[in-house]
């Protein structure tokens, strides 16, 4: 397997608080990795390492053979659960901003013909995510699902190699969530993305991913809960989509997660 | 019977209920004035409404015997000019410094403690310094407003800038924006409506400093006038001036709010 993203004895700690330890994995280009685990298990921290807003404490996190940049950059797009879009710009402008940043070094703003071209590019992405009807609306006029569609379009205009999704559908209604799943799967194929998606919803993880990682602690010290960090306890390939196997795995992982997190899990499902 | 906390006045009732306290105050004034006038025809403390009307007429619609100006309007012009220049300078300083410090941690580090310290200086305490340094002219009055208001504006804008969701700034970086572009296209446009909010909140303080400065050293202005005629106990002039100042303050505040609503509808929809 050619490794596009490579984790090599990767660890992350804040002082004495070890969050992640001993992560070893290789991810090929075009995979769809879903990250699940109890809250506080470090899956979001791992996403931040990929994003570049947090830095690796020890070990290596490589992208295409080079350590990942310690700052967010256009090759790694992001969609957060909330606040991913700019409230002061309308839908088209939100998407076109990514073009304007590149083409207008000083003002970050295009005028006249070049602006029209940028907006036309934005329109293309907006029809890909099904927002062409809402082009002139402002984010506060959009529903939660439409805002997430917009956030996806924004990210995609940069043609990122990697798309990071941090519980993007966590705040949406179940019906809308289903639509968004289809949309993301479509975009993933269409744009040849490598996706890392953090989710609380194990079923969502199984449904979307080609690969599912479960983050959990292997070692526990009851007197010092922060001493040991989480690692990837399951690395499941979901290519086959064998139903019986999947159901068995869901049950097993569920049992493990519920064991670790009795109090918070029921509210999330 | 519905619970009291669920009873809402309808539109008409709400307006009526809003006006009633004002009418009651006017009525109370009228009664008080009548009682005092009954005792002493020459009473100056609570002049009758007709005397107040005469006072307004003398100040606003007859040229001054001494200078030939319509003093009321000249005073208004001078005060509003000082106030607007002071507010404009303060807002500019507040926006530039607050934004820079809020967006760039390396600027916030040296600036933030200094601004906190400066904002704790009572501006009135350094009014003498201003008079000494800037003289008794227009500059010292404007400077008092600037010194009194801009530290508050800087701190507020700094905080508002830092309160913008971190996610937006990360998102902007993944869209390829550099620091300058992000400040210009993402932070600044979202901070301007917040600046208008902060300016509205600081208007009260700005009026206070303006009137104080005018009371101490000026040759015209609304504050100057009410402190001047105090010597003659001219309540018939002081009272309408106070009402007029209140009206100006209200109008200015209202205009800023309207402007913000029209120009930044997304900001008001968000709240």
Take residue B62 and report the two structure tokens written for it: 């007859």
Chain B residue numbers touching A83 (CB-CB < 8 A): 165, 167-168, 171
Chain B residue numbers touching A80 (CB-CB < 8 A): 167, 170-171
Angle (CA) B260-B143-B83 rounded to 5° is 40
The CA distance from A203 to A181, in Å, is: 12
Chain A residue numbers touching B266 (CB-CB < 8 A): 87-88, 138-140
The CA distance from A114 to A117, in Å, is: 5
Chain A residue numbers touching B180 (CB-CB < 8 A): 106, 108
Check the CA dihedral A140-A144-A145-A149 and report its sign: positive
- Partner B contacted by A72 (CB < 8 A): yes
How far the first Cα of chain B sits from its last, in Å, is: 33
Q: In what order do the strands lie in the sheet with A211-217?
A: A66-67, A58-63, A5-14, A17-27, A230-237, A211-217, A32-37, A194-198, A162-166, A76-79
The predicted pLDDT at position A84 comes to 87
The predicted pLDDT at position B167 comes to 93
Q: Residue A182 in 3-state DSSP? A: helix
Is the separation of the CB atoms in B201 and B112 below 8 Å? no
Angle (CA) A192-A165-B171 rounded to 5° is 100
The CA distance from B226 to B230, in Å, is: 6
- Partner B contacted by A109 (CB < 8 A): yes
Residue carrying the six token digits 């301007």: B192
Phi/psi of residue A183, nearest 5 degrees: -60, -50
Check the CA dihedral A153-A154-A158-A164 and report its sign: negative
**Residue A83: CB atoms within 10 Å:** 18
Kindly determine whether residue B172 and residue A51, on different chains, have CB atoms separated by under 8 Å.
Answer: no
Tell me which residue of A48, A69, A56, A74 sits closest to A8, measured CA to CA.
A56
Take residue A159 and report the two structure tokens written for it: 């043609």
Mean pLDDT of B230-257: 94
Q: For B63-110, where are the E strands, in sequence order?
A: none
Kindly determine whether residue A84 and residue B167, on different chains, have CB atoms separated by under 8 Å.
Answer: yes
The predicted pLDDT at position B235 comes to 92
Kindly determine whether residue A138 and residue B266, on different chains, have CB atoms separated by under 8 Å.
Answer: yes
The CA distance from B180 to B177, in Å, is: 8
Lowest average pLDDT, out of A72-81, A171-180, B17-26, B79-88, goes to A171-180
- Partner A contacted by B181 (CB < 8 A): yes
- Partner A contacted by B264 (CB < 8 A): yes
By C-alpha distance, the chain A residue nearest B192 is A88
Strands A230-237 vs A5-14: parallel, antiparallel or unpaired: unpaired
Kindly determine whether residue B174 and residue A74, on different chains, have CB atoms separated by under 8 Å.
Answer: yes
Chain B residue numbers touching A125 (CB-CB < 8 A): none
Strands A211-217 vs A32-37: parallel, antiparallel or unpaired: parallel
Kindly determine whether residue B267 and residue A87, on different chains, have CB atoms separated by under 8 Å.
Answer: yes
The CA distance from A142 to A129, in Å, is: 14
Tell me which residue of A170, A202, A162, A263 sits closest to A36, measured CA to CA.
A202
Strands A211-217 vs A5-14: parallel, antiparallel or unpaired: unpaired
Kindly determine whether residue A83 and residue B167, on different chains, have CB atoms separated by under 8 Å.
Answer: yes
Is the separation of the CB atoms in A253 and A234 below 8 Å? yes
Q: Residue A20 in 3-state DSSP? A: strand
Is the separation of the CB atoms in B182 and B161 below 8 Å? no
- Partner A contacted by B190 (CB < 8 A): yes
The CA distance from B268 to A142, in Å, is: 15
Q: For chain B, where are the E strands, in sequence order?
A: none
- Which residue in B176, B180, B182 is closest to A98 by CB distance? B176
- DSSP secondary structure of A78-124: EE-SS--S-TTS-HHHHHHHHHHHHH-TTTS---HHHHHHHHHHHHH
Mean pLDDT value across chain B: 92
The CA distance from A192 to B8, in Å, is: 57
The predicted pLDDT at position A243 comes to 60
- Partner B contacted by A141 (CB < 8 A): yes
- Partner A contacted by B271 (CB < 8 A): no
A102 Cα to chain B: minimum distance (Å): 7
CB burial of residue B50 (10 Å; 0-12, 13-18, 19+)? exposed
By C-alpha distance, the chain B residue nearest A77 is B174
- In CATH, the architecture of B61-270 is Orthogonal Bundle (1.10)
Tell me which residue of A209, A212, A185 sits closest to A43, measured CA to CA.
A212
Take residue A142 and report the two structure tokens written for it: 């959009």
Tell me which residue of A254, A267, A266, A264 sits closest to A36, measured CA to CA.
A254
Chain A residue numbers touching B268 (CB-CB < 8 A): none
Chain A residue numbers touching B183 (CB-CB < 8 A): none
The predicted pLDDT at position A239 comes to 74
Angle (CA) A12-A17-A21 rounded to 5° is 35
The CA distance from A237 to A259, in Å, is: 24
Kindly determine whether residue A154 and residue B270, on different chains, have CB atoms separated by under 8 Å.
Answer: no
Mean pLDDT of B91-96: 96
Is the separation of the CB atoms in A232 and A65 below 8 Å? no
- Which residue in A74, A80, A88 is closest to B175 by CB distance? A74
**CATH code that applies to domain A71-173:** 3.40.50.300
Chain A residue numbers touching B168 (CB-CB < 8 A): 83-84, 86
Residue carrying the six token digits 């701190």: B155
Residue carrying the six token digits 């953090």: A198
Ordered per-residue pLDDT tens for chain A, 269 residues: 568 898 888 888 888 888 888 888 889 989 999 998 888 788 889 999 999 999 989 888 989 888 988 899 999 999 999 888 999 999 999 999 999 999 888 888 899 899 999 999 999 999 989 898 999 999 999 999 999 999 999 999 999 999 999 999 988 888 888 889 999 999 999 999 999 999 988 888 888 888 999 888 888 888 887 788 888 888 888 776 566 666 667 777 777 666 554 444 444 43
Phi/psi of residue A161, nearest 5 degrees: -80, -35
Q: In chain B, what are the domain boundaries?
A: 61-270
The predicted pLDDT at position A268 comes to 40
- A234, containing H or E segment: strand A230-237
Q: Residue A10 in 3-state DSSP? A: strand
């Amino acid at each position: 397997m050619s490794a596009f993203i490579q984790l090599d004895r990767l660890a992350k700690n804040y002082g004495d608080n070890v969050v992640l330890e001993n992560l070893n994995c290789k991810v090929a280009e075009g995979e769809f990795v879903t990250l699940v685990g109890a809250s506080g298990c470090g899956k979001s921290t791992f996403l931040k390492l990929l994003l570049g807003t947090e830095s690796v404490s020890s070990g290596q996190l490589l992208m295409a053979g080079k350590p990942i940049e310690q700052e967010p950059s256009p090759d790694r797009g992001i969609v957060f659960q909330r606040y991913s879009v700019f409230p002061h710009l309308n839908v088209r402008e939100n998407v076109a901003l990514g073009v304007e940043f590149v083409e207008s070094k000083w003002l970050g703003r295009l005028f006249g013909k070049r602006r029209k071209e940028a907006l036309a590019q934005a329109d293309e992405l907006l029809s890909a995510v099904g927002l062409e009807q809402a082009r002139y609306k402002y984010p506060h006029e959009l529903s939660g699902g439409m805002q997430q569609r917009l956030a996806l379009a924004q990210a995609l205009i940069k043609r990122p190699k990697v798309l990071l999704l941090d519980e993007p559908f966590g705040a949406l209604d179940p019906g809308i969530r289903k639509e968004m799943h289809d949309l993301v799967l479509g975009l993933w194929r269409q744009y040849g993305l490598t996706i890392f998606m953090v989710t609380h919803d194990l079923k969502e993880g199984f449904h979307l991913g080609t690969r599912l990682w479960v983050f959990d602690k292997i070692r526990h010290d009851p007197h010092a809960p922060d001493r040991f960090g989480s690692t990837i306890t399951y690395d499941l390939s979901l290519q086959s989509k064998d139903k019986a196997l999947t159901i068995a795995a869901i049950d097993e992982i569920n049992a493990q997660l519920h064991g670790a997190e009795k109090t918070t899990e029921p509210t999330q499902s | 019977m519905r619970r009291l906390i669920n009873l809402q006045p309808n539109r008409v009732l709400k307006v009526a209920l809003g006006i009633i306290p004002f009418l009651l105050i006017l009525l109370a004034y009228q009664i008080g004035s009548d009682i005092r006038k009954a005792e002493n025809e020459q009473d100056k403390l609570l002049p009758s409404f007709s005397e107040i009307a005469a006072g307004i007429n003398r100040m606003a619609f007859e040229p001054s015997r001494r200078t030939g100006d319509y003093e009321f309007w000249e005073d208004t012009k001078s005060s509003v000019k000082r106030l607007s220049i002071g507010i404009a300078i303060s807002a500019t300083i507040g926006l530039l410094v607050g934004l820079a410090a809020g967006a760039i941690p390396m600027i916030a580090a040296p600036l933030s403690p200094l601004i906190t310290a400066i904002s704790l200086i009572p501006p009135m305490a350094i009014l003498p310094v201003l008079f000494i340094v800037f003289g008794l002219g227009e500059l010292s009055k404007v400077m008092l407003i600037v010194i009194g208001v801009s530290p508050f504006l800087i701190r507020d804008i700094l905080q508002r800038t830092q309160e913008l969701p971190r996610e937006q700034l990360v998102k902007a970086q993944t869209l390829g924006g550099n620091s300058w572009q992000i400040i210009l296209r993402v932070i600044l446009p979202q901070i301007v409506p917040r600046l208008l909010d902060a300016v509205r909140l600081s208007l009260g303080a700005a009026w206070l400093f303006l009137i104080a400065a005018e009371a101490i050293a000026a040759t015209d202005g609304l504050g100057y006038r009410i402190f001047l005629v105090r010597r003659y106990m001219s309540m018939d002039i002081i009272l309408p001036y106070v009402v007029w100042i209140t009206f100006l303050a209200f109008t200015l505040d209202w205009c800023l709010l309207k402007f913000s609503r029209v120009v930044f509808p997304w900001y008001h929809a968000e709240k």
